[in-house]
Chains A and B, each alone.
Chain A
Amino acid sequence: MKQYQICTRCIMDTSDPEITFDENGVCNHCHNFDVNIKPTWRPDETGKEMLEKIVEKIKRESQKNEYEAIIGLSGGVDSSYLAYVAVKQLGLRVLPVHIDGGWNSEIAVRNIENVCKSLGLDLHTYVVDWDEMNDLQAAFVRSGLANLDVPQDHAFYAGVYKFAADNNIRYVLSGSNWATEGILPPAWGYMAKDRRHLEGVHERFGKMKLKTFPRISMLERKLYYPYIKGIKVVTVLDYMPYNKQDAMKVLETLGWRYYGGKHFESRFTKFFQAYYLPTKFGYDKRRAHLSSLVVSGQMTREQALAEMETEQYQPDELREDREYVLRKLDMSEEEFEAILKAPNRTFRDYPSSHEYLEVFRKIRSFFRKFM
């Protein structure tokens, strides 16, 4: 067992099995943030100018379209604030697209409604077939993997892309951002974008065929959508100062409410992040999120440490959510208990495109170096 250690700058610690520290006790995530992320993160004047140019281009290219861009709207902070920025600051005609994976909380649907109503936006919802979603989600629970949010995240990602392509909308505005998501250890769960992985896990533990579940392959993601269909993803919030607290204050004027934790707008994600991961895998995703806020200057290290001490679940609330998740997945208490005790797995135990992606990454950095 490695000795416990915590970063002297952020609050990442040895609950990330792959963490390393330099001689000053600063972790690899902080270094990664400084070296790889900071140069692409532009919360300043240059960002403002770049974004203006992008918006001009979007408007020029989408004159004939009813909507200039789509945004994935979950009802959470990032996507709701993105909608606000797109309408009020950038003056874009956007269509919010909501992917309903079957776990919306009441707060999430109310937020979507209030954001759309107060910004005067239309809405499109893609409802994922719950029988398929259920089967896929139960398959991931049975797999012993850490990232149980793969089905939800994949459907979201694939659904938004597909909608853009089907409706000839070339710009997708994304709420993902370095300011609140700059740190996330790869060891804490394999990515959701890998179709091979999604289907591989389902093949092993699923019970029915996936027919309509939205999926996106590596080729589609890297080649078809960006180059053939010409769809561009713009991470708008990376071109401006983005402060979570300030964003929430703005959103509250639209009738939006906070739901108590990053991505807790989904009932499943709350249970998964606040209970399943800490219980079975011994880590708490808040640590990465709060570390992101520390390195992006939105919070002090002390505030982050204090936040980690708060309870995410009251006992009856946890019991209620656990019963709900199991009832919805149609899974027995006994089976779930056994899953919690079974050995933990990593994505290497299942099919994935990891190796191809590594090759792809190497080729790209080779070309970047020599061309």
Chain B
Amino acid sequence: MFHRPRVIPSLLLRKNGLVKTLKFKDQRYIGDPINAVKIFNEKGVDELVLLDITATTDKRGPNLPLLARIAAEAFMPMAYGGGITQFEEIREILRLGYEKVIMNTSAIENAELIREASECFGSQSIVISLDTKKNFFGNYHVMTHSGSNDTKLDPVQFAQEAEKLGAGEILLYSVDKDGTMSGYDLSLIKKVSEAVNLPVVACGGAGRVDDFAAALHAGAAAVSAGSLFVFYGKHKAVLITFPTDEELTKAGVFES
């Protein structure tokens, strides 16, 4: 059977620009989102995740005019997250052409919004971003507000809760792995993906194409990465790149 799991670049918005973080901190500017999305589009990526990482902390909603301009460059499915608190915002983002909306802080502060939105727009368009951080004792906690607020919630329980509310997918972020390019947190992926029937997208830590195969093997349905698709070489030079089908097949990500 031909198996081709989704490989998804995730891009982080700060105001009008893109940044890349290390453990959700140390934001480094990497350029204009419109051009970046156009390049990814021409590289033929399957899907793209766009997260506005300062919307919630700035206490504002999604930047809809900018989202509209970005969407015009994307022919592939796009998912947007960041600052969504209103039902109307979800409707508007989907109307702009985004296939999915991603919620994190809202999912915890306003569970009703998840239920309502998945009933109205369908589960497939509602993604919950689970930002997790390991504490001193090795326990995973769910974080909100771009990783700055510890809810003390357990990711497994929360994932099951999200499933009940009607979410269609989980974006599973490891805050500790973010930007390190040292490989995914495989035990986290295993834990969460075993506990739910929802597709889990692994996020945080990918440093080479081989890491994708490991995450998929641990139970992820799809893989996402940031640094790997925007940095080149030892100086981490900003350069957008995406592996070819041959490279993905060779690494065991695609199976034929």
> B-contacting residues of A (Cβ < 8 Å)?
98, 100, 102-106, 109, 112-113, 116, 122-125, 127, 129-131, 133-134, 267, 324, 327-328, 330
Contact = CB atoms under 8 A, between A and B. Distances in A.
B122 interface: no
Given A98-B239, A327-B72, 15 more contacts: A100-B31, A102-B32, A104-B35, A105-B39, A105-B42, A106-B39, A109-B240, A122-B234, A125-B237, A127-B31, A129-B29, A130-B16, A324-B38, A328-B32, A330-B69
Interface in B201-256: 232-235, 237-241
B191 interface: no
Contacts of B34: 327-328
Nearest to A122: B233
A127 B240 contact: no
Nearest to B235: A124
Contacts of A104: 35, 39, 240
Please tell me the size bucket of the interface on B. Answer: 20 to 34
Contacts of B29: 127, 129
B43 interface: yes
Interface in B21-40: 29-32, 34-35, 38-39
A122 B241 contact: no
A147 B232 CA distance: 32
By secondary structure, the B interface counts as mixed
Given A113-B232, A130-B31, A125 B238 contact: yes
A124 B237 contact: yes
Given A116-B233, A127-B30, A102 B238 contact: no
B239 A113 contact: yes
Contacts of A134: 32
A116 B16 contact: no
A100 B238 contact: yes
> 3 closest Cβ contacts across the A-B interface?
A130-B32, A106-B42, A123-B237
A104 B235 CA distance: 20
Contacts of B43: 106
Contacts of A98: 237, 239
Contacts of B234: 122
A327 B73 CA distance: 10
A113 B233 CA distance: 10
A130 B17 CA distance: 7
B239 A112 contact: yes
Contacts of A129: 17, 29
A73 to B, nearest CB: 10
A123 B35 contact: no
User: Which of A109, A112, A328 gathers the greatest number of chain B CB atoms within 10 Å?
Assistant: A109
9 contacts: A98-B237, A103-B35, A104-B35, A113-B239, A123-B232, A125-B237, A125-B238, A327-B72, A328-B32
User: Which of B43, B232, B233, B237 gathers the greatest number of chain A CB atoms within 10 Å?
Assistant: B237
B238 A127 contact: yes
A183 B238 CA distance: 34
A91 to B, nearest CB: 20
Interface string B157-188: 00000000000000000000000000000000
B17 A123 contact: no
A112 B34 CA distance: 20
A267 B39 CA distance: 11
A116 B232 contact: yes
A160 to B, nearest CB: 14
B235 A123 contact: yes
B21 to A, nearest CB: 15
Contacts of A324: 38, 73
Contacts of A328: 32, 34-35, 69
Contacts of A109: 39, 239-241
Nearest to B241: A113
Contacts of B31: 100, 102, 127, 130
B233 A131 contact: no
Nearest to B42: A106
A116 B72 CA distance: 31
A131 B34 CA distance: 12
B198 to A, nearest CB: 33
A104 B43 CA distance: 13
A133 B235 CA distance: 24
A131 B240 CA distance: 19
Contacts of B237: 98, 122-125
Nearest to B232: A123
A102 B240 CA distance: 12
B233 A123 contact: yes
Contacts of B72: 327
Interface string B33-60: 0110011001100000000000000000
